[in-house]
């Protein structure tokens, strides 16, 4: 192993997100991924030893196991590696930087300097990308009653949901999160800068990966009653020059959009559908839940934290 390579340990490397990160890192020549003996993958002492030997650890674990790993890293004091946590556990926790590089100007620089980065949830990635620029531009009040609807491919539910869909146990499509307490709400509300809790209605369909997140809007309920072009402009201005986030015109989409077009990429595409004469709009974000919604974003953050060039 060359001395100059940055070393990475993926805690949970056999899971859906972990495998996706490993595949992506295989194409990054500046890093070497160190693997743990599969028999010891849940052994705290072995994981702690591994953490002590690397520059950065990525946590691709259920929330409780991610918290346990952070506690193990804490025991290493100044020898602790940098951490990217793909779980939900630290996304609004003090001392952690939220890993959505395009959140606002200068945010990628904060990730680059951080020791601990919480990778965003897949749905909040789309919703925050749509909402935050409107709030920042004063086009949406912070207490606007926001509703976010979304559909995900079944890989979003990890190994157990993948098995349910691929063995035919799961229904073709279902709404869920109807208890209105989905785990993504705290980060969605915090990083979109909303003071009123949004209503979030996710759903999952019988396709492996890909995602649409949509926000319906009545234009006369927004300050100054903006037009469709104003909403488009606010988004286009925020993401001008972005490598991964694009704002596309609605023309040519025929009033419909499907979720799989960005699969296996780290891209996020935003469209403002709407009709000025009706005073209505629907903002839509399209992404790969396993790409920009998980492993792709994690690798984007790893590159920033290790000072590597953009992929």
Ligand X SMILES: NC(=O)C1=CN([C@@H]2O[C@H](COP(=O)(O)OP(=O)(O)OC[C@H]3O[C@@H](n4cnc5c(N)ncnc54)[C@H](OP(=O)(O)O)[C@@H]3O)[C@@H](O)[C@H]2O)C=CC1
Ligand Y SMILES: CC(=O)N[C@@H](CCC(=O)OP(=O)(O)O)C(=O)O
Question: H-type helices in the chain, by residue range?
Answer: 16-25, 44-52, 63-74, 107-113, 122-136, 158-166, 185-191, 228-238, 296-305
Strand partners, 63: none
Residues 102-131 that bind ligand X (CB under 6 A): 122
- Tell me the window of 128-136, 155-163, 218-226, 300-308 that interacts with ligand X (CB under 6 A): 155-163
Rule CB under 6 A: say whether 15 interacts with ligand Y. Answer: no
**Among ligand Y, ligand X, none, what does residue 202 contact (CB within 5–8 Å per kind)?**
ligand Y
| Cβ atoms 162, 155 nearer than 8 A | yes
Rule CB under 6 A: say whether 210 interacts with ligand Y. Answer: no
Rule CB under 6 A: say whether 293 interacts with ligand X. Answer: yes
Tell me which of 88, 149, 263, 300 binds ligand Y, using CB under 6 A. Answer: 88
Tell me which of 34, 42, 48, 193 binds ligand X, using CB under 6 A. Answer: 42
Say if strands 173-175 and 203-205 run parallel, antiparallel, or are unpaired.
antiparallel
Residues 171-190 that bind ligand Y (CB under 6 A): 183-184
List the catalytic residues. 122
The CA distance from 60 to 87, in Å, is 6
The CA distance from 177 to 102, in Å, is 27
**Among ligand X, ligand Y, none, what does residue 301 contact (CB within 5–8 Å per kind)?**
none
| Cβ atoms 209, 150 nearer than 8 A | no
Rule CB under 6 A: say whether 294 interacts with ligand Y. Answer: yes
**Among ligand X, ligand Y, none, what does residue 149 contact (CB within 5–8 Å per kind)?**
none
For residue 295, give Cα distances in angstroms to 227, 264, 308.
Answer: 35, 10, 17
| Cβ atoms 166, 209 nearer than 8 A | no
The CA distance from 192 to 274, in Å, is 21
Rule CB under 6 A: say whether 10 interacts with ligand Y. Answer: no
Nearer to ligand X, 42 or 193 (CB): 42
Smallest separation, CB 220 to ligand Y (Å): 32
Rule CB under 6 A: say whether 259 interacts with ligand Y. Answer: no
Task: Tell me which residues touch ligand X (CB under 6 A).
Answer: 12, 14-18, 41-42, 60-63, 65, 86-88, 122, 155-156, 158-159, 289-290, 293-294
């Amino acid at each position: 192993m060359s001395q100059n390579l940055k070393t990475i340990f993926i805690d949970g490397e056999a899971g859906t997100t972990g495998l996706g990160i490993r595949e992506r890192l295989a194409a990054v020549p500046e890093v070497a991924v160190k693997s743990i003996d599969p028999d010891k993958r849940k052994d705290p002492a072995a994981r702690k030893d591994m953490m002590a030997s690397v520059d950065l650890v990525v946590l691709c674990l259920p929330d409780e196991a991610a918290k346990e790993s952070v506690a193990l890293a804490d025991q290493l004091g100044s020898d602790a590696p940098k951490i990217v946590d793909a779980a939900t556990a630290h996304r609004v926790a003090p001392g952690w930087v939220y890993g959505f590089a395009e959140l606002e100007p200068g945010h990628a620089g904060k990730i680059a300097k951080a020791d601990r980065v919480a990778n965003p949830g897949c749905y909040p990635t789309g919703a925050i990308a749509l909402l935050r620029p409107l709030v920042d531009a004063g086009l949406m009040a912070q207490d606007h009653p926001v509703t976010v609807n979304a559909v995900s491919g079944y890989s979003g539910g990890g190994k157990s949901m993948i098995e349910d869909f691929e063995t035919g146990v799961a229904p073709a499509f279902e709404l869920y999160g109807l208890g209105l307490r989905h785990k993504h709400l705290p980060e969605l509300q915090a990083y979109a800068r909303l003071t009123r809790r949004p209503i979030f209605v996710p759903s999952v369909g019988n396709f492996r990966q890909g995602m649409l997140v949509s926000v319906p809007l009545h234009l006369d309920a927004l300050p100054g009653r903006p037009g469709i072009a104003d909403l488009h402009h606010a988004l286009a201005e925020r993401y001008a020059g972005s490598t991964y986030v694009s704002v596309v015109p609605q023309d040519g989409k025929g009033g419909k959009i499907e979720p799989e077009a960005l699969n296996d990429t780290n891209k996020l595409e935003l469209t403002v559908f709407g009709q000025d004469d009706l005073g209505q709009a629907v903002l839509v974000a399209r992404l790969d839940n396993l790409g920009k919604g998980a492993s792709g974003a994690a690798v984007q953050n790893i590159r920033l934290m290790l000072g590597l060039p953009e992929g």
